């Protein structure tokens, strides 16, 4: 029998919080419940397509950061890549203090990749390149108009030859399908939201904070202050809304807030009117070796018009946390895109202080699952994609960074051995009443 996924997750996840009679208070916006979830299957992409060779070293497709189950299919999914193979060169003698990345394949284009579970393997069935509104293929290079410390320098070789920036540059992090013909993705550079034609992979609209983007629909300019490589990381869709969440608090008013602020932003986009509002999400407080700036959003899924499921993680040294939360938007303050604050939202640091000092209420969080305890293999690195099959299977996707690194920043690439995995977690419902 084929698994079926509904437009929203049926009430199963919501019922977990109802079934627990004594939730444990964690913070002013978060409660904790004890739920049962277990890892039942780990499927590996063992034979990814070849991208090309760099100095006689073969590099394969990977770096998948977004996932969507294909409704009604026999365990088929769409995956989407980030900006392509890239390697840090900040400590190279020619970097001169700049944020530098080596792009071994400057013309690499991200792909909408259809995969299928066959036994214990994940098999690629289709690859489709993505294009802008004019039909020009997208790439992973930095965007020309990013400002100051938000920009990066791209090298094409170890002689520090710079690759020109590109208006088609995107660093894709999450995907969601609206229907059989339209999908949306979010990317980190601007950050921006893209509406895409599934059949030809062509852009239908771009929602961006930068006026330099042609034919754009405006997002709040404050989003330009996103921390580098911490732009939009998660996307979810309801019947009339798209929700996009920043991975971390913005550098607002400057980078000094990142050591203390727990407050990141969710952008609410009305797909019928293009009206934009903002909500506030409180990340977990620093604990153990994990500093405040280490917490990140991985992905999110819509349950219904007011509830989302969010993947949040943080790691440093031997302390690694990967958790799933349910958030409720119904009582959260909707902030107009043009609202001017005397003090930045991020400067209030916590949801409690934000409410006391401004009256703004953040979204309510309820802890659902600890995925490390449930069996997530921490050697797979960061979890970046999440989707559901029906109401009882949660599927996680790791980002393997294309399985490569250059440890000495000298251009010699080595294999990390990390593959692309889909991890299937069964949600146990014995204690849930209908």
Provide, rounded to the nearest whole percent, the portion of the chain with pLDDT above 70.
90
For the ranges 12-16, 172-176, 215-219, 247-251, which has the lowest average pLDDT? 12-16
Q: Give the contacts of 388 (CB within 8 A, at least 6 positions apart).
A: 5, 9, 69, 301, 309, 394, 395
**Segment 349-377 mean pLDDT:** 96
Q: CA 227 to CA 167: how far, in whole Å?
A: 20
pLDDT of residue 132: 96
Q: What number is the average pLDDT over the span 279-291?
A: 97
The pLDDT of residue 31? 64
Given a cut of 90, whether residue 408 has pLDDT beyond it is no
**Mean pLDDT for the stretch of residues 160-169:** 95
Percent with pLDDT over 90 in the chain: 80
* Mean pLDDT, range 362-382, rounded to an integer: 96
Answer whether residue 143 shows pLDDT above 50.
yes
Q: What is the pLDDT of residue 104?
A: 94
| pLDDT for the residue 216 | 94
Class of domain 12-427: mainly beta
Q: What is the model's pLDDT at position 28?
A: 47
Residue 112 has pLDDT above 50, yes or no: yes
User: What is the pLDDT confidence band of residue 147, given thresholds at 50, 70 and 90?
Assistant: confident
CA atoms of 408 and 298, how far apart (whole Å): 28
For 239, which DSSP code?
Answer: S
Return d(Cα 338, Cα 219) in angstroms, integer.
10
Average pLDDT over residues 101-121: 96
Q: State the pLDDT confidence band at 195, using cuts at 50, 70 and 90.
A: very high
Higher pLDDT among residues 399 and 18, named by residue:
399
Q: How far apart are CA 116 and CA 118, in angstroms?
A: 6
Which tens digit of pLDDT belongs to each residue from 22-74?
333 344 466 665 568 999 999 999 999 999 999 889 999 999 999 999 999 99
pTM recorded for the entire structure: 0.91
Contact 35, 16 (CB under 8 A): yes
Nearest to 223 by CA among 252, 185, 194, 243: 252
Alpha-carbon distance of 167 to 161, in angstroms, equals 19
What's the CA gap between 376 and 369, in Å, rounded?
Answer: 11
Q: Is the pLDDT of residue 340 over 50?
A: yes
pLDDT reading at 209 higher than 60: yes
Task: Map out the domains of the chain as residue ranges.
Answer: 12-427
Mean pLDDT of 277-306: 97
Q: Who has greater pLDDT, 98 or 400?
A: 400
| Residues 6 or more apart in contact with residue 347 via CB below 8 angstroms | 252, 253, 257, 261
Beta partners for 315?
320
Asked whether residue 434 carries a pLDDT value surpassing 50, the answer given is: no
Q: What is the pLDDT of residues 245-278, one digit of tens each?
A: 999 999 999 999 999 999 999 999 999 999 999 9
């Amino acid at each position: 029998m084929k698994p079926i996924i509904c437009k929203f997750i049926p009430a199963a996840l919501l019922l977990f919080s109802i079934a627990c009679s004594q939730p444990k208070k964690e913070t002013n916006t978060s409660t904790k419940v004890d739920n049962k979830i277990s890892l039942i299957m780990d499927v590996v992409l063992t034979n990814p397509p070849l991208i090309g060779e760099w100095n006689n070293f073969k590099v394969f497709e990977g770096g998948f950061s977004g996932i969507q189950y294909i409704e009604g299919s026999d365990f088929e999914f769409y995956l989407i890549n980030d900006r392509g193979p890239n390697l840090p060169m900040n400590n190279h003698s020619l970097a001169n203090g700049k944020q530098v990345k080596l792009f071994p394949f400057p013309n690499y284009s991200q792909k909408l990749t259809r995969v299928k579970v066959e036994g214990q393997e994940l098999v690629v069935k289709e690859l489709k390149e993505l294009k802008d509104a004019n039909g020009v293929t997208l790439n992973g290079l930095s965007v020309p108009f990013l400002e100051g410390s938000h920009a990066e320098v791209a090298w094409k070789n170890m002689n520090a030859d710079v690759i020109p920036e590109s208006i088609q540059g995107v660093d894709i992090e999450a995907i969601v399908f609206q229907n059989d013909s339209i999908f949306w993705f979010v990317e980190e550079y601007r950050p921006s939201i893209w509406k895409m034609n599934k059949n030809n992979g062509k852009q239908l609209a771009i929602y961006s904070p930068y006026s330099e983007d042609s034919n754009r629909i405006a997002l709040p300019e404050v989003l330009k202050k996103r921390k580098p490589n911490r732009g939009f990381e998660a996307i979810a869709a309801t019947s009339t809304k798209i929700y996009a969440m920043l991975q971390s608090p913005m550098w607002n008013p400057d980078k000094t807030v990142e050591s203390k602020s727990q407050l990141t932003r969710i952008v609410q986009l009305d797909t019928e009117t293009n009206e934009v509002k903002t909500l506030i999400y409180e990340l977990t407080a620093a604990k153990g070796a994990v500093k405040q700036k280490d917490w990140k959003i991985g992905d999110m899924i819509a349950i219904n018009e007011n509830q989302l499921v969010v993947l949040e993680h943080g790691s440093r040294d031997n302390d690694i946390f990967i958790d799933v939360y349910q958030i409720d938007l119904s009582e959260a303050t909707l902030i107009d895109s043009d609202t001017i604050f005397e003090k930045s939202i991020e400067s209030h640091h916590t949801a409690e202080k934000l409410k006391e000092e401004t009256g703004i209420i953040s979204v309510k969080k309820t802890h659902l699952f600890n995925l490390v305890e449930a069996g997530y293999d921490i050697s797979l690195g960061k979890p970046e994609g999440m989707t559901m099959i029906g109401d009882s299977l949660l599927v996680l996707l790791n980002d393997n960074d294309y399985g490569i690194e250059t440890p000495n920043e000298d251009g010699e690439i080595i294999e990390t051995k990390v593959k692309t995995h889909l991890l299937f977690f069964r949600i146990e419902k014995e204690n849930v009443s209908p």
